[in-house]
Chains A and B, each alone.
Chain A
Amino acid sequence: MNSAWEVVIGLEIHTQLATISKIFSGAPTKYGASPNTQACLVDLGYPGVLPVLNAEVVRMACKFGLAVNARVASRCVFARKNYFYPDLPKGYQISQYELPIVHDGELIIKGDKGEDKRVGITRAHLEEDAGKSIHEGLDRSSRIDLNRAGTPLLEIVSEPDIRSAKEAVAYMRKIHSIVRYLEISDGNMQEGSFRCDANVSVRPHGQDKLGTRSELKNLNSFRFVEKAINFEIERQINVLEDGGEVAQETRFYDSDQDETRAMRSKEEANDYRYFPDPDLLPVELDEAFIAEVKKTLPELPDAKQTRFVKQYKLRAADAEILTVSRAVADYFEATVAAFKDHPKIAANWITGNLSAALNRDELDITDSKVNPVDLAELLSRIQDRTISGKMAKEVFEAMWADKGSADEIIEAKGMRQITDSSAIEKIVNIVLAKNPNQVEQYRAGKEKLLGFFVGQVMKESGGKANPSQVNRVLKAYLNKD
């Protein structure tokens, strides 16, 4: 990247809070319902209806604030953001403006050079989601589904402290991890419960004044965020280097073309005419309330990662992977609880074989076909040398396919590893006897043939001989004169 330019990025993340009912009404929030079957009169903005406030939404926002070291406001106010659009039934969105529920927080991420970098979180505020508009499908009409209208959102706004697309993704991943840890959001980007907008601008290095920024929307995956931002940075630099000016506008990211484009429908800058919503009173949270919420905070990713390194002697990189989600971390610890002495081995299996199987079957770890206790049993069998590491993979697949526990499968398939020295010696003798030429060649100096012999022994033993023992015995016998 052109080092004459400094990139300034701020992210706005909207995360849907995982409540059962809506923020201002008692309608359900489940995803995927038939159109307009989850929009009650309050959500539809009927004449005479009024909003009420969902307690769980407040608790969740408070949890988030505490998790990012922010101030939770003792008094916050809902404000109306006024504009007209068919998916906004009341003609205004109930949001928060001057007095948000959370402000002045921070997140530590890994910067571009691997250093610890602090990204400020200006604020996080509560608001209601709009419904959905479908513009394709009918000739002359757009279709409106208001099921989503009124779903609670937490809008998290970062300071413009981010300096590259990579940092942006790191920040976004961290927030994603935190909201899932706190169980305040399922973070499902495909279903729209975690959405990211990026404000991007560039300025010459050393300049204080911020450049004109554009707002990127429709960034619904980590990959797209990175690509869109990189494209936009380059675009803006090109515009400026050509002597032009960057327009302050909203652009959306087209993933097919890998480019950002100005949005046509954004008319003249909207005057939202924010004012405090008179139908809702100021929310007052006292120390006792905040203390109660604090008690419910789980161990957060950073703290867990640090503990894993210390407690289980894992490498930082492994600890990081294992703590991306609470579910994975819990799985790991449950496995270690049943297979105490070798956490590293457990870590490897979880990040390796288990992960691969989950990905292949598109399963979340909570739906894993092999549970921690069963995995621990399998690992114990490797450890006590009942089976070899290679065999274990086979056993694992069988366990995954519901064929039983590790022990059951080993028994059923007669997979017990042969570790008995005399048994191995017997097989080695058979193999050596069958291959006199190779024996001669080996003894004459072709030591590479060891691999051949190992293979033959393994074959002869039906794969059950313990490989390292086989190695040892072969060497001993071959080198005998």
Chain B
Amino acid sequence: MVGQQQALHTQTLAELAKGLLNAEFSSYELVECLLSRIEEHDSSLNAFISVMAEQALTDAAASDKARAKGEVGLLGGLPIVHKDIFCTKGILTTCGSRMLENFISPYDASVVEQLSSAGAVILGKTNMDEFAMGSSNETSYFGPVRNPWDIERTPGGSSGGSAAAVAARLVPVATGTDTGGSIRQPAALTNTVGLKPTYGRVSRYGMIAFASSLDQAGVITRTAEDAAMLLTAMAGFDERDSTSVDHPVPDYVESLTRPLQGLRIGIIQQHFDSGLDEKCASRVKDALNVLEQQGASLIEIDLPNLDLSVPTYYVVATAECSSNLSRFDGVRFGYRADDAKDLLDLYCRSRGNGFGVEVKRRIMTGTYVLSAGYYDAYYLKAQKVRQLISQDFKNAFEKVDVIAGPTTPTPAFPLGDKMDNPITMYLNDIYTIGVNLAGLPGISVPCGFVDDLPVGLQIIGPHFAEETILACAHQYQQYTNWHQRCPEGYE
């Protein structure tokens, strides 16, 4: 029934929504199409941990029936995949880890509930760095994810599976989580849009915790418009999450048309110093020029403490995760070592075997920075520097409306490249991390290619300015078509 229309898998969520409404195709057909694409292509990408083909088709059929009766949710019949960090009731939820290899969640995360209530059909759970710890999706127990732009390269992480699936047009949109850049960085490396909302904008209930004061749920899509659609359905106050903010949810799609005219964009000179690949810098500068041409003004700003954001982040994040992961002890759920001779053995072997190298490394680091004698020098210190970094952003936002710059220092790097030195890996997040420390919203949008590899432009806003950054990204996408380019072999 495809006929004149554009192939289903190449359509954006917004286009698919219209198509369903106009009965150009059914949800069942759409889901069927995507499931076969997943089957065809995922072996080369390993983007999925679970595919729920049968359930998805059942749900799609049900949604078609409902639509025929006039019952249409915001996302009725539209396909979605969830990063395997979101608990899905009755469905395997692994968090990319051996520890939860067989864990069937007894409940749905709030994000899952909200999207399902809006009518979205879940096709599967995507691969990710183990417990969201990583920037290349190479720490997953279920094998690395490959970048559809070059399968010898990583798609970034930790939401690598979601990014690869969307980039390869296996699905139009996916959920992800971002603690230090885990949505924005893979989006930049895969030519997709990655949105991390303000901390507290989206509920964390049911999202397996890595670093509680930094984690935020978001989306990976191909357009800012799609991201806006999803955010409208996902955002909102949740009384089960004490850190959830009771802030009204606007229609983010409506405000996309805000013009760039008059927008004050802050540029951080430090960003363009050493560390940033020259060609990437060039793409980013071109993008900024496009914005300027459309009436935005570029204003130089300084974030004096930004240099310390990576060490600050790693102290805080590892401290929080070392505690968050203590619940994985083999007693009530999860991997349990056999024939434990005593309690200590049960704990040490269940956790020693259940967790991968990077996770253990971060737990150890976190335990260290919180331990007696070191707390003041590391954890307390980092919290103070975090305050300074947040203050820097606050000061900057008195002069500008958004801050823009590169999302990552380089394009996608080869698999195995950075696994030897953890710090080299950590420095990948240098442009994204400060945003999490300050709890700000940020979006990465495709802005060009370097040696056929995608480059991302990051736009950061003050708290609850998702409308502003989405509009900025959307307008940019009206004047460019980077985001429409498809990786070879996945057309």
Contact = CB atoms under 8 A, between A and B. Distances in A.
A271 interface: yes
Interface stretch (A81-89, A187-195, A458-466): A81-89
B100 interface: yes
Nearest to A26: B240
A273 B370 contact: yes
A80 B323 contact: yes
Interface string B365-385: 001001110010001000000
B319 A275 contact: yes
Given A41-B106, A48-B87, A271-B371, A278 B213 contact: yes
Contacts of A281: 242-243
A321 interface: no
B239 A91 contact: no
Interface residues of A, number: 28
B206 interface: yes
A271 B372 CA distance: 6
A50 B241 contact: yes
Given A89-B327, A275-B319, A47 B208 contact: yes
Interface in B365-411: 367, 370-372, 375, 379
Interface string B213-252: 1000000000000000000000000011111000000000
B323 A89 contact: no
Nearest to A51: B242
A5 B156 CA distance: 68
B357 to A, nearest CB: 20
Interface string A37-70: 0000100111111111100000000000000000
Contacts of A52: 239-240, 242
A144 interface: yes
Interface string A93-137: 000000000000000000000000000000000000000000000
B204 interface: yes
Given A44-B332, A86-B331, A86-B343, A53 B242 contact: yes
A327 interface: no
Contact of A84 (B93, B243, B329): B329
Contacts of B204: 50
B380 to A, nearest CB: 9
A50 to B, nearest CB: 5
A89 B209 CA distance: 15
A154 B444 CA distance: 47
A450 B147 CA distance: 115
A174 B241 CA distance: 39
Given A47-B208, A48-B105, 19 more contacts: A45-B327, A46-B106, A46-B333, A48-B86, A48-B207, A50-B205, A50-B243, A84-B326, A89-B327, A89-B332, A91-B323, A144-B331, A271-B372, A273-B323, A273-B367, A273-B371, A275-B370, A278-B243, A278-B320
A90 interface: yes
Give the one of A47, A86, A90, A279 with max B CB within 10 A: A47
B212 interface: yes
Contact of B323 (A50, A51, A275): A275
Contacts of B323: 80, 82, 91-92, 273, 275
A409 interface: no
A280 interface: yes
Interface in B318-346: 319-320, 323, 325-329, 331-333, 343
Interface of B: 86-87, 93, 95, 100, 103, 105-107, 109, 204-209, 211-213, 239-243, 319-320, 323, 325-329, 331-333, 343, 347, 367, 370-372, 375, 379
Contacts of A90: 326-327
Contacts of B343: 86
Contacts of A47: 87, 93, 95, 100, 103, 105, 208-209, 327-328, 333
A273 B242 contact: no
A205 B38 CA distance: 81
A46 B89 CA distance: 13
A472 B424 CA distance: 109
Contacts of B375: 273, 275
Contacts of B325: 91
A41 B319 CA distance: 24
Given A46-B106, A52-B242, A92-B326, A275 B379 contact: yes
A271 B320 CA distance: 16
Contacts of A44: 332
B211 to A, nearest CB: 8
A72 B331 CA distance: 39
A278 to B, nearest CB: 4
24 contacts: A41-B106, A46-B106, A47-B100, A47-B105, A48-B105, A48-B109, A49-B205, A50-B205, A50-B240, A50-B242, A51-B242, A52-B240, A82-B323, A82-B370, A84-B326, A89-B327, A91-B325, A91-B326, A271-B372, A273-B370, A275-B379, A278-B213, A279-B243, A281-B243
Contact of A278 (B212, B239, B327): B212
Contacts of A92: 323, 326
A90 B209 CA distance: 12
Interface in A186-215: none
A310 B382 CA distance: 61
A84 B347 contact: yes
B206 A48 contact: yes
A384 to B, nearest CB: 63
B319 A48 contact: no
B205 A91 contact: no
Contacts of B372: 271, 273
B301 to A, nearest CB: 29
A87 to B, nearest CB: 10
Interface in A235-276: 271, 273-275
Nearest to B211: A278
Contacts of A41: 106-107
Contacts of B241: 50
A96 to B, nearest CB: 15
Contacts of A50: 204-205, 240-243
Contacts of B86: 48
Interface in A279-301: 279-281
A46 B87 CA distance: 10
A274 B242 CA distance: 20
Nearest to B207: A48
Give the one of A89, A278, A279 with max B CB within 10 A: A278
A86 B205 CA distance: 24
A144 B329 CA distance: 14
A51 B109 CA distance: 14
A383 B165 CA distance: 93
Contact of B205 (A48, A89, A271, A274): A48
Nearest to B86: A48
